[in-house]
Chain A
Amino acid sequence: MVHQFKLGGYNIVLDVNSGSVHSVDDVAYDMIALYPEYPREEIISQMLDKYRGRPDVTEDELGECYSDIQALVDAKKLYSPDEFEKIAALPKPHVGTIKALCLHVAHTCNLNCGYCFAGQGRYRGEREVMNYETGCAAIDFLIEHSGRRHNLEVDFFGGEPLMCWETVKKIVAYARERERECGKNFRFTLTTNGLLIDDDVIEFCNREMHNVVLSLDGRREVNDRFRKTLTGQGSYDIILPKFKKFVEARGDRGYYIRGTYTHFNTDFTEDILHMADLGFDQLSMEPVVCPPDEPYALTEDDLPVLLEQYEKLAFAMLERRRAGRGFAFYHFILDLEHGPCVYKRITGCGSGTEYLAVTPKGELYPCHQFVGDPKFRLGSLSEGLTNKELQAEFGKCNIYTRPECRECWARFYCAGGCAANAYHATGRIDRIYEYGCRLLKKRIECAIMLKVAEFEEENSHKE
């Protein structure tokens, strides 16, 4: 399967099954499209007709281009077959191994964001925080189930995790002790709304947290529409100075300023550029997750606008990169040379299998988005994983079990998409959230285009 698209003045051909990316001229672009349908002579004849009057488009030239296409097909870099289904059917490597926990240390929040998927941090339950003993039990559980995995991940999440900050620090200290004994490497992340950031948080996180995710929706009026304090005050002016100080002190360590866009700011590129103008250079912006009847839910009419916004963002990033003011956007980051292996590209995020969420009480769920739905309770730290049937259902999900993914060119970039989004959209974890797919496909096209632009610009400098 081949996916062809034109963006930013580039003609791009992606060979889906090998992952090869080709930047081609108009003639080659057309010939590649015709290749599976017509024999050599017919393609050359059609091209001579279409490009009549172009001195560089001669029969000899077209014959040479056809041979180049043939060589790429022979090298399995064009129209290469999908040979991975048999891998997906095999038992997963390291089955039963868990490598990551989303630790819900606080089911409570000090903001009252109107669009919160977690119900102001409570996840349909009562307000509560995790105690130290449960946190330690989660660390022990992860180590015990991690098999030979060296790198283990724990995200301190909520609600707002800084509402039980002292416990977080103690859990980290406990994990550091255990990792030395067990030969593991913990990578901690913290996702915070920023309200309680102070010097102690900054110093500790910059020492211990592999990554921090700081929530900001962009422009003041956009952020403050939803992200309000419990007294109804906008949070922008409170958190911005804290985020600036935090990021400045963070040096080279990873962080993301992460926003959510809704129906009310479909011009979200302005929000991303606003955050870049504030001096932040690692940015993420996600579509809102909510029931379709909410006034802020993204609509079908919003979709073309959103797709255009991603293109606009990519062009703006290109311009800024050329001007030496580049920044990273999470969904446009693409490591073509050293990205994930095909196993990961088939099976995805690992929710319910190698990635679990832990509630303050120590209950286990497939991921944070399923927390609070009793149908998805997998067990608890004290009982272990008791709902093996449900876990097996998650284990079976891959790009070949989702019928829509089989025919999709982007399947090796999203790995079948988010099980929670699919469930909320269709009632099944092994289907797709089609709206999200359309957004993802545009993001991947933009990400590939940025790589092609980088490649072409490097090449032109060499020439």
Chain B
Amino acid sequence: MKRIKTIETRNLKNSAVTGGCGECQTSCQSACKTSCGVANQPCEQKPAKGSR
């Protein structure tokens, strides 16, 4: 694509199939303690084929 470059991202819909284990860090346990943000928390599962 000449005018559009797509950055590789985790596909949220696919993550509904593979995700939900709950092993990831609770967001408030890292640095915030006063505001919520989840996007910076890494997933604990190793990337699996087709998980994107």
Residues of A that sit less than 8 Å from B by CB: 17-25, 27-28, 61, 64-65, 68-69, 72, 76-77, 80, 83-84, 87, 93-94, 97, 99-100, 102, 117, 149-151, 153, 155, 157, 187, 189, 191, 211, 213, 256, 258, 260, 284, 286-287, 289, 330-331, 333-345, 348-351, 354-355, 367-369, 412-419, 421, 436, 440, 443-444, 447, 451-452, 455-456, 459
Question: CB-CB < 8 A to B27: which residues of A?
Answer: 348-349
Q: What's the Cα separation between A65 and B7 when bound, in Å? A: 17
Known: A191-B33, A349-B36. Is A344-B28 also a contact (CB below 8 A)? no
* A68–B34 touching, CB < 8 Å: no
Mark contacts of B3-37 with chain A using CB atoms, 8 A cut-off: 1 yes-contact digit, 0 otherwise: 11111111111011011101111111111111111
Q: What's the Cα separation between A387 and B37 when bound, in Å? A: 27
In chain B, what residue has the closest Cβ to A459?
A: B5
Known: A24-B3, A286-B34, A339-B39. Is A349-B13 also a contact (CB below 8 A)? no
* A338–B42 touching, CB < 8 Å: yes
* B31–A413 touching, CB < 8 Å: no
Question: CB-CB < 8 A to B11: which residues of A?
Answer: 18-20
Q: Which of B9, B15, B23, B37 contacts A331 (CB 8 A)?
A: B37
Mark contacts of B33-52 with chain A using CB atoms, 8 A cut-off: 1 yes-contact digit, 0 otherwise: 11111111111100100001
Known: A117-B34, A342-B13. Is A187-B42 also a contact (CB below 8 A)? no
Number of interface residues, chain B, beta carbon within 8 A: 43
* B29–A286 touching, CB < 8 Å: no
In chain A, what residue has the closest Cβ to B26?
A: A100
Q: What's the Cα separation between A186 and B4 when bound, in Å? A: 44
Known: A339-B43, A340-B43. Is A345-B38 also a contact (CB below 8 A)? yes
Q: How far is the CB of B45 from chain A (nearest CB, A)?
A: 8
| Residues of A contacting B: mostly | mixed
Q: What's the Cα separation between A150 and B52 when bound, in Å? A: 24
Known: A24-B5, A150-B23, A417-B35. 15 other contacts (CB 8 A): A22-B6, A23-B4, A23-B5, A25-B4, A61-B2, A68-B1, A330-B31, A339-B10, A340-B24, A344-B41, A349-B27, A414-B36, A414-B37, A421-B36, A440-B37
* B13–A83 touching, CB < 8 Å: yes
In chain B, what residue has the closest Cβ to A421?
A: B35
Q: What's the Cα separation between A69 and B6 when bound, in Å? A: 11
Question: CB-CB < 8 A to A68: which residues of B?
Answer: 1-4
* A339–B26 touching, CB < 8 Å: no
Q: How far is the CB of B3 from chain A (nearest CB, A)?
A: 4
* A341–B9 touching, CB < 8 Å: no
Residues of B that sit less than 8 Å from A by CB: 1-13, 15-16, 18-20, 22-44, 47, 52
What are 9 inter-chain pairs, A to B, with CB distance below 8 A?
A17-B13, A22-B4, A68-B2, A97-B22, A102-B28, A260-B34, A287-B34, A337-B10, A354-B26
Question: CB-CB < 8 A to A415: which residues of B?
Answer: 36, 38
* B38–A334 touching, CB < 8 Å: no
* A19–B10 touching, CB < 8 Å: yes
Q: What's the Cα separation between A355 and B23 when bound, in Å? A: 13
Q: Which of B5, B25, B37 contacts A22 (CB 8 A)?
A: B5
